Structure 1
Amino acid sequence: MALKHELDGKLVVLIGGSGFFGSYVAQQLLSCGARLRVASRHPEAAFKLKPLANLGQIQFARCDVTKPESIAAIMHGADAAIYMVGAFSGDLAALHKTGPAIAAGAARNAGADAFVHISALGADAASEVYYAQTKAEGEDAVRAAFPKATILRPSVLFGEDDDFINMFARMIAGFPAMPVFGPEARLQPLWVDDAARAAVNALADPERHGGKTYEIAGPEALTMAQINRAIAQAQGRDRLFIELPDAVSSAFATLTGWLPGAPLTQDQWRLLKAGNVPSGDRPGIKALGVSPSPLGLFLDRWMVRYRKHGRFGVKASAARR
C-alpha cells in the first residue's frame, strides 16, 4: 500500500501555473493527490492538464498579479501556494516584486502553511540588469510578507518542449553555419522535471525548507559552445559554429535587441556573459531530495525529430551497426 503524500487532499494554488514550468509542477502535484487551482491571466492555456486530474482535482481561475483583490480571490481556502510568474520584458517590477509580495501576503491571510517563490539564479539587487534586480527585490518582498516562504533560484530549465534547447535545435537543423554568442559562458541547465520535484518537495515540508533559499541547477556546467555541439551531434549533423567575441555579441545585442523577436537583448547578453551557475553560497537541489539528471541523458531521444530522416536518420542507423 502506497504511503499517503503530505500534500494529498491539500489545495495548492499555482500562480502563473499555465506556463512551461507550471505544467510540470502541476503534474507532480496531481500525482501527489493535491487539489490544484491554476491561476493565470490565460488559464485556458492550462486546460491540457484536465485529463491528468481526477474528478474535481483541478480548477482554473483568471487573475492579475498586479491587483490585490484578484490574488485574494484565488487564494481563498489555500493550504499552500507557488508563485511562478516571470518575464524578461514588460513591467518587471510588478511581475517580480509587487506581484510576489501581494501573493505571499494573500497566502498568509488565507492561512496557507507553505509558500514557494520561484526566483532565478543570479538574482542580485546590485546587478546592472533590471531583471536580476527585480528578482532579488521580489525575494525580499516575499520574505517580508511570508517569513517562512521557500525561495528557489533555478538555473535555465530544459525539457522536450522547452524554448531553450529547441531554439538552438531548430537553427542547427536549418543552417549549415551559425553564430555562438558567449561561447565560453557557463550554464548549468536543469531538467524541468527535476525542478518540479524540487518545488513540490519544498512545498510539502515547510518546517524543513521554509525560510530558506535554494540554488537549484543541473549536475554539470556546460559552455554555450558545448551545448550547441552536443545538440548538433545528437541530430547527426556536421555544423560550422562561429564563436563570436564578446565585443561582437554585445554590439549585436545593442543594435538588434530592441526589435520584436530579437534572438538576444542587451540584458540577456549581460546575463549570459555572467554565466548561470550556482554561487555555492546556498543549499542546492540535493538538499531538496532531488538528484538532477544531465542534459546528455535526453538529447539523443529528443533530437530525433530534427534529424534529416527522423528516427531513420544517421543516429538510428549507427545504432543498428
Structure 2
Amino acid sequence: MDVLVCGGDGFVGQHLCADLVDRGHSVTALSRSPNPDVLPDEVETATGDVTEYESIEGAFEGKDAAVNLTALPPLHQPQPGTFHDTVCIGGAVNAAHAASEHDVGRYVEMSSLGAEMDSPIAYWRTQGLGDLVVEYSDLDWVVLRPSFIFGEGSETIEFIKQYTTPYVTVLPEGGEEPTFQPIWVEDVATITAEALEDDKHIGNVYDFGGPEVLTFGEVTRMLYRAEGKSVKIFSVPMEFAKIGLRMLDPITAIPLGLDQARALEMSNVTDHNDIDAFGIDESDLFSLSAYLEQGRPLRE
C-alpha cells in the first residue's frame, strides 16, 4: 500500500513509519516541518498543517491508506496560538475530508483512551469530537484509543520528571489511585499497522493499553528507581492543588493548569483491553517496568 502518515515524524509516527516500511509499504510522512533525520531513508516527506486544509489536501492524492496521528500533548497547556479544538477537531475534519476527496481506501484515526465529547478535559473532549467526525464519514475507518504511550521521547515520562523530584516530592491527592495503563510505542505502531492491513477492523473503535495498571505515584517511583534514586511522596488534597493551579492556569509559560489536575483524577484504564482483536495477549506486550529496567526490549 501507499500510506500517508499525518504527524509521521512525531513520537508515534517515527515508529509507525519504520514498521510500515518493514512490512513493504510505501510511506509518506506529513508534518508542518518534516524531519527526515528521524525517519527511515525509504520514507518520503510532505509539508502541511492539518489545521489548514489546502496545505494537506494534495498529499492524499494517490494514497491507498492514511493515518492521522496529529494532536497536542494532553499533559501540558497548549502554547499560545494553538488550541485543542483546531488540531483535534479541525485536524480530523480536514484529514478525513481530504482522504474522502481522494478516495483513500483505509483511514486510521489515532485518538486516546478517555476521548469522550462530554469530557471535562479539553484534550479528551476535542479528541472525542474528532472521533465522531471520522465515524460519521464515508471512509473505511478505524479509531484507535490507546492509554498513555511510553518510549524514548514519551511526553508522559517527561511530564513526570519535570514536575516531580527525587527523594521527596508532592503529588495531588489521588496520585495513588489507578491512573495509567501505559503501552509501549512500538506495540502501538504494530497495532496501527495491523489496523491498516486487515479489513476486519473497518468500522471499529478500539480501547487498549499495556500489561500494567499503575498509579501516578508508582510510575514516579519506578522512574527514579531506574536511576538508582528513591522518592517519598507526600499527598496534597486535590482541592488545595486546584486552588494553586487555578492561579497558574492563565500563565501559558507554565505548562501546568487545571486540565492537568483534572487528568490526574481520571482513570485512564480500559474496561476491556481490545488488543485481543489483534491476536495479542497482554503477556506479549512490553511493560513500562521492563522498559525502565533494561531500556529497550531484548526481543525481536
Q: Unaligned 5+ residue runs, structure 2? A: none
Aligned residue among 49, 54, 58 for 2:43:
58
- Tell me the percent identity: 29
Q: Take 1:128 and 1:285, find their aligned partners in 2: how far apart are those partners?
A: 27
User: Does the 8 A contact of 2:17 with 2:43 survive in 1?
Assistant: no
The alpha-carbon distance between structure 1 residues 219 and 39, as it changes in their structure 2 partners (threshold 3 A), is: same
The CA RMSD measured in Å over matched residues stands at 2.1
Aligned residue among 16, 39, 47 for 2:30:
39
User: Does the 8 A contact of 1:82 with 1:116 survive in 2?
Assistant: yes
Residue of structure 2 equivalent to 1:69: 54
Normalised to the residue count of structure 1, the TM-score between the two structures is: 0.82
Residue of structure 1 equivalent to 2:251: 259
Residue of structure 1 equivalent to 2:144: 152
Residue of structure 1 equivalent to 2:195: 202
User: Does the 8 A contact of 2:107 with 2:141 survive in 1?
Assistant: yes
Q: Take 2:256 and 2:207, find their aligned partners in 1: how far apart are those partners?
A: 25
User: Post-superposition shift, 1:279?
Assistant: 3.3
Asked whether 1:123 is paired with 2:115, we answer: yes
User: Which range is displaced more, 226-235 or 33-42?
Assistant: 226-235
Q: Take 2:257 and 2:61, find their aligned partners in 1: how far apart are those partners?
A: 39
User: Does the 8 A contact of 1:198 with 1:289 survive in 2?
Assistant: no
| Equivalent residue letter for 1:67 | E
**Structure holding more helix per residue:** 1
Aligned residue among 93, 104, 107 for 1:112:
104
The alpha-carbon distance between structure 1 residues 226 and 261, as it changes in their structure 2 partners (threshold 3 A), is: farther
| Structure of larger gyration radius | 1
User: Does the 8 A contact of 2:105 with 2:139 survive in 1?
Assistant: no
Normalised to the residue count of structure 2, the TM-score between the two structures is: 0.87
Secondary structure, in 3 states, of the residue corresponding to 1:65? coil
User: Post-superposition shift, 1:260?
Assistant: 3.6
| Equivalent residue letter for 1:268 | Q
Asked whether 1:48 is paired with 2:48, we answer: no
Q: Unaligned 5+ residue runs, structure 1? A: 1-9, 304-321
The alpha-carbon distance between structure 1 residues 93 and 165, as it changes in their structure 2 partners (threshold 3 A), is: closer
Aligned residue among 239, 242, 245 for 2:234:
242
Secondary structure, in 3 states, of the residue corresponding to 1:164? helix
Secondary structure, in 3 states, of the residue corresponding to 1:235? coil
User: Does the 8 A contact of 2:113 with 2:268 survive in 1?
Assistant: yes
Q: Take 1:161 and 1:31, find their aligned partners in 2: how far apart are those partners?
A: 22
The alpha-carbon distance between structure 1 residues 292 and 175, as it changes in their structure 2 partners (threshold 3 A), is: closer
User: Post-superposition shift, 1:107?
Assistant: 1.5
Secondary structure, in 3 states, of the residue corresponding to 1:180? strand
Deviations 1:278-301 (A, max 9, x none): 133xx6123123332221111123
User: Does the 8 A contact of 2:100 with 2:139 survive in 1?
Assistant: no
Residue of structure 2 equivalent to 1:165: 157
Deviation above 6 Å: which 4+ runs of structure 1? none
Residue of structure 2 equivalent to 1:25: 16
| Higher RCO by CA contacts (8 Å cutoff, separation 6 or greater) | 2
Residue of structure 1 equivalent to 2:67: 82
Secondary structure, in 3 states, of the residue corresponding to 2:170? strand
Deviations 1:216-275 (A, max 9, x none): 211121111111112222222122222222123222321223334535321121122112
Q: Take 2:104 and 2:240, find their aligned partners in 1: how far apart are those partners?
A: 50
Secondary structure, in 3 states, of the residue corresponding to 1:145? coil
